[in-house]
Structures are given as C-alpha cells and as structure tokens.
Amino acid sequence: MGLLLDSDVIINHLNNKDDYLSTIISKSKEDLFISIINWSEIIYGIRKLKNSIKATKQFTNFIIDLNIKILEIDLKIAGKFIDLKIELEKKGSRLEDFDLIIGATAIVNNLVLMTKNIKHFSRIPEIKLYSK
C-alpha cells in the first residue's frame, strides 16, 4: 500500500519544518503519490512567492528525487467524491471540495493519506490515515 502525501506534509518538508516525512522516507519502502489537487495547491502557493523559480525547482526536484507519482482525477475518483460529499452533507459535516477529492483519491487508489490534519480528514468514511 502506498502513501498519498497531503500538501501540508510536503510544504513542511520543503520548508524544513516539523518534518516527519523524512523519517518515513528513510524507513519506508512505500510508493509515494500526490493528487493533482495537492500539486495545484503547492504550485499556487509557490507562484505567489518572490522567489518562485527557485521554489518551483525545489518542488520539482522533490517529486523527481522521490519518484512521486502524480494522480489525476478520473471518473472513479469523481464518483467517490460525489458519494462522499452527499454522505457528509447528510451528516452536516461538510468538507472543502478539494479535501474531498484528495480523500476520494486515497480511497479509490487504496492509499494511506499522510496529513497533519488527521481530525479534519477523519470525517471521511473509509479513509486510511497515516499516524505517527
């Protein structure tokens, strides 16, 4: 089973803050993935920086060096997103659409989501979350 890296984990790693991803990388043989949503969130933040060229290169090298696969949204993920959104709305426990797509990506691809936001994502049924 692989790990789907959430944006917060990647950003902390790239900024050398609260970096538990390095420990996982050194100990784990798991394949690493990010959603196209996470990629978009990170690139959006990078483009707002003064030194966006350097940050883009750092992020790109991170993906290449760790052989991280970027997962696109397909019909299975879209369908799971819709199911999750309806289910959570019925419970009165909404989440942002991007977070639901990230969660749906983890579920459909049988991945464990590595995030610092366990409380937030734990509202998604079926999701497997990485905990230290």
SS3 of the chain: helix, strand, coil, percent, to 5: 55, 10, 35
- What stretch of H or E contains 74? none
Entry pTM: 0.91
* pLDDT average, residue stretch 65-70: 93
Average the pLDDT over each of 33-37, 96-100, 116-120, 125-129 and give the range with the smallest value.
116-120
Which domains does the chain carry? 3-129 (3.40.50.1010)
The predicted structure's pLDDT at residue 132: 63
- pLDDT band, very low/low/confident/very high, at 17 (cuts 50, 70, 90): confident
* CA atoms of 101 and 82, how far apart (whole Å): 9
- Sequence-ordered strand ranges (E) for the chain: 3-5, 32-35, 69-71, 112-114, 128-129
The predicted structure's pLDDT at residue 5: 95
The predicted structure's pLDDT at residue 19: 65
- pLDDT over 80 (residue 43): yes
- For residue 85, give the 3-state DSSP assignment: helix
